[in-house]
Each structure stands twice: as C-alpha cells, then as structure tokens.
C-alpha cells in the first residue's frame, strides 16, 4: 500500500514514523506547506518521495490519504480525498465548528471511500477495557463517570485563537470517549470556566480551566474537567462508577498525582508529560486500524458523524459557559 501523508508537524511526523514501520505500507509520499519540513522528515525516516499537497490527488498515485495538517486544511483535504475515492484518515477535528463539519458530511455523501477521524483514545487499552466492562454489564448500571484532560503546560499564545477553545480542543476527546465507552448520548451540559493563567486565553474568549456536568440519555451523570495548567504532568483519566463495581482508566504508575497518605508510594513512575507519551500505543493501533480500513478489512472505527456528535457537545458547553445556564445538546443541533 502507498500512503500519502499531508502535514508533518508534531503529530504528523509521529504518524509518518508509525506508518513507515507498518509491514503493509510499502511506500509513502510526504507533503507539507513547508516543503523543507517534508524533506527533513522524509530524509530522517528514509522515505524517498515528497510532493506538494495538491499533487497527492494526482501524480503521487497513492492508495490512501492521512491528514495531519493544521486544522483549517482538514475539511477541504477530506472532501478532496474522499471524492478521489481514497480511504482517508484525518486527525481530529474535521473542521473548527459544527456548521463546517456538516458541510463536509454533505460534500462526501455520495463518495464511497471510508473516512476515519483520529480520536485515538478508542485504541487505548484502558478505554477499550472500560467499554468492554460496561457492555458486558459487569459494573451493573453506571450512575457516574468522571473524566479529565489536564495538560501539563499551556500551548503557545498563537495556537489559542485558532484552537476552537478548550472544549473543542481538549474536552472533545472526553466527550467522544464518554459516548464510545457507554454507548449513550449526552443530552444536556452545564459548563463553567476560569481565567487565572496567561492573558491570551481571556483575550481569545477562551478559558484555561473548565468543569462540565453532563447528563446522559439514560440519566447517568458525567463530570469532565480540563486545564492548561497541570504542572504535575499530562493527566488523562476516566472513572466509571456502577451499581456493582467501579473502574478507572489511566490509574497507572505514571499518573501525575501525589498521594499524601502515610506509607502510600503509588504512583512512583515518571509522570506523563504530553499526549505523545500518554497515548503512544493508542496512536500506533489507531493507524494499524486505518491500514485495515484502507485495505477494506473493516469499517471506519470513528466516522465524521461521530466527530460531529462530540463537537456539538463542545459547542453546547461554549453556550453554557457564556450564558451561565444548562444547555440541551439539541439546542445547538439544529
């Protein structure tokens, strides 16, 4: 299989390395808006072909497309790839808002090529085990879920105005995984935020720490917290509490949390610092799944419709924070 990869920045260069090591990927073509960066990554991985992004759809003669560009290029590349009949993997998000995401759905409606959106937690062994336990009924009925995405350090100032805000950028992963683990839909949210870090968050209309209370369609309650200032490390977890049993995802030796109880030494490992170390194995499994999708062995494990569903929850959170009230997700769905 010959794979074209657009965007070789932080996550794209990691994906390029993963694909390079996949036994079914026989050749690759790398493209980036910065051609020198594409050449540098290609040279470091022993990939011989680089191209302009637009050439991926013509002269590069690829079998599948991986998109890891900056967010503003995702929508048009998904549409162009799917319309060219290429199986497409695209990093989240599909687009910066729900209106543009719906536009992508309309424009690829008649394309038969599969599109896989990169919500990598669906390939993390902990989240997979949690989903299996919920589906098997071993927890009884789930009454409460607690999820968090706590970044160790804030992103650069210039990233924030184009990020879509902390709900769309960070908590969207928690919203996706809540839906995926429980198989339920979120019906209502109440979100609050604070600005006690750098001024550029407030200037962009964003918050630097948030708390969200969500109600699922079976009545279960979820709490999602996010921050850009968790110096202890990159802390991503989920607790699923049920009538018979409870479990935790991410409660391993690298958890960036310190116990103050006498004699307790857990956790004692090196704390996670970034999504790339926290989810290393999940990213590798995710792209192996995409190779299966591209080879026609499985359906997309995370569709554009899935991405739209979690984005709508994030948009409901934005309205809730701004207007200081609970918001039904159906309010932002129309």
Ligand X SMILES: NC(=O)c1ccc[n+]([C@@H]2O[C@H](COP(=O)([O-])OP(=O)(O)OC[C@H]3O[C@@H](n4cnc5c(N)ncnc54)[C@H](O)[C@@H]3O)[C@@H](O)[C@H]2O)c1
- CB closer to ligand X out of 15 and 131: 15
**Is residue 70 involved in binding ligand X (CB under 6 A)?**
yes
Candidates 32-40, 57-65, 217-225, 237-245: pick the segment binding ligand X (CB under 6 A). Answer: 32-40
Minimum CB distance to ligand X smaller for 12 or for 211:
12
302 touching ligand X, by CB under 6 A = no
Does residue 232 bind ligand X (CB under 6 A)? no
Q: In what order do the strands lie in the sheet with 88-91?
A: 49-50, 27-31, 2-6, 64-67, 88-91, 115-118
Strand partners, 28: 3
**Does residue 241 contact residue 148 with C-beta atoms inside 8 Å?**
no
**Could you tell me which stretch among 68-76, 101-109, 176-184, 249-257 binds ligand X (CB under 6 A)?**
68-76
The binder of ligand X chosen from 3, 4, 5, 12 (CB under 6 A): 12
| 43 near ligand X (CB under 6 A) | no
Q: How far is the CB of 138 from ligand X (least distance, A)?
A: 29
Which of these segments, 7-15, 221-229, 245-253, 306-314, binds ligand X (CB under 6 A)?
7-15
Q: Are 309 and 293 in contact (CB under 8 A)?
A: no
Radius of gyration of the chain (CA): 20
Please name every residue paired with 237 in a beta bridge, in sequence order, or none if there are none.
Answer: 148
Query: Does 10 help bind ligand X (rule: CB under 6 A)?
Result: yes
State how beta strands 88-91 and 115-118 pair. Answer: parallel
DSSP state at residue 156: P
275 binds ligand X (CB under 6 A): yes
Burial group, residue 26, by CB count within 10 angstroms (0-12, 13-18, 19+): exposed
- Given a contact cutoff of 8 angstroms between Cβ atoms, the answer to whether 262 and 269 are in contact is no
Supply the DSSP string of 87-113, one letter for each residue.
-EEEESPSSSSHHHHHHHHHHTTT--S
Q: Which of 1, 33, 105, 198 binds ligand X (CB under 6 A)?
A: 33
Q: Give the shortest CB-117-to-ligand X separation in angstroms.
A: 9
Tell me if 165 contacts ligand X by CB under 6 A: no
Of 151 and 188, nearer to ligand X (C-beta) is 151
Instruction: Name the segment binding ligand X (CB under 6 A); options: 31-39, 190-198, 220-228, 234-242.
Output: 31-39
- What secondary structure letter does DSSP report for 51? -
Q: Tell me whether residue 31 or residue 240 sits nearer to ligand X (CB atom).
A: 31
Per-residue x/- mask for ligand X, residues 105 to 124, rule CB under 6 A? Answer: -------------x-x----
Pairing, β 2-6 against β 27-31:
parallel
Enumerate the H helices of the chain as residue ranges: 10-20, 35-45, 74-83, 98-107, 125-136, 166, 172-182, 199-203, 275-278, 280-294, 304-323, 329-333
Which residues in 75-104 contact ligand X (CB under 6 A)? 91-92
Least Å distance, CB 152 to ligand X, is 14
- Of the candidate spans 65-73, 96-104, 244-252, 325-333, the one that interacts with ligand X by CB under 6 A turns out to be 65-73
**Which range of residues in 8-16, 100-108, 289-297, 317-325 is near ligand X by CB under 6 A?**
8-16
Cis peptide before 178 (omega within 30 of 0): no
What's the closest the beta carbon of residue 170 comes to ligand X, in angstroms?
10
Binding interface with ligand X (CB under 6 A): 6-12, 31-34, 37, 53, 68-71, 73, 91-92, 118, 120, 275
């Amino acid at each position: 299989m010959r794979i074209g990869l657009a965007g070789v920045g932080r996550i794209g260069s990691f994906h390029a390395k993963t694909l390079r090591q996949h036994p079914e990927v026989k050749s690759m073509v790398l493209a980036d808006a910065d051609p020198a960066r594409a050449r540098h990554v290609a040279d470091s991985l022993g990939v011989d072909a680089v191209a302009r992004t637009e050439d991926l759809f013509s002269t590069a003669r690829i079998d599948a497309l991986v998109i890891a560009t900056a967010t503003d290029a995702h929508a048009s590349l998904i549409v162009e790839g799917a319309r060219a009949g290429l199986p497409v993997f695209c990093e989240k998000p599909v687009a910066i808002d729900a209106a543009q995401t719906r536009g992508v759905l309309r424009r690829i409606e008649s394309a038969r090529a599969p599109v896989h959106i990169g919500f990598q937690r669906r390939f993390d062994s902990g989240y997979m085990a949690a989903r299996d336990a919920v589906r098997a009924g071993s927890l009884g009925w789930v009454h409460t879920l607690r999820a968090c995405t706590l970044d160790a350090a804030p992103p650069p100032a210039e990233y924030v105005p184009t990020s879509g805000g902390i709900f769309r950028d960070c908590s969207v992963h928690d919203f996706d995984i809540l839906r995926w683990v429980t198989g339920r839909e979120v019906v209502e949210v109440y979100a609050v935020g604070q600005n006690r870090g750098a001024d550029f968050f407030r200037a962009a209309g964003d918050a630097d720490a948030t708390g969200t209370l969500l109600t699922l369609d079976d009545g279960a309650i979820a709490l999602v917290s996010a921050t850009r200032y968790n110096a202890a490390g990159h802390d991503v977890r989920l607790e699923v509490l049920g009538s018979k049993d409870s479990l935790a995802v991410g409660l391993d030796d690298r958890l960036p949390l310190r116990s103050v109880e006498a004699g307790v030494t857990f956790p004692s490992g090196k704390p996670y610092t970034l999504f790339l170390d926290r989810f290393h194995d999940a990213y590798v499994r995710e792209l192996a799944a995409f190779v299966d999708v591209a080879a026609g062995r499985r359906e997309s494990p995370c569709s554009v419709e899935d991405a739209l569903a979690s984005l709508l929850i994030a948009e409901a959170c934005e309205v809730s924070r701004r207007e200081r009230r609970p918001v039904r997700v159906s309010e932002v769905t129309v």
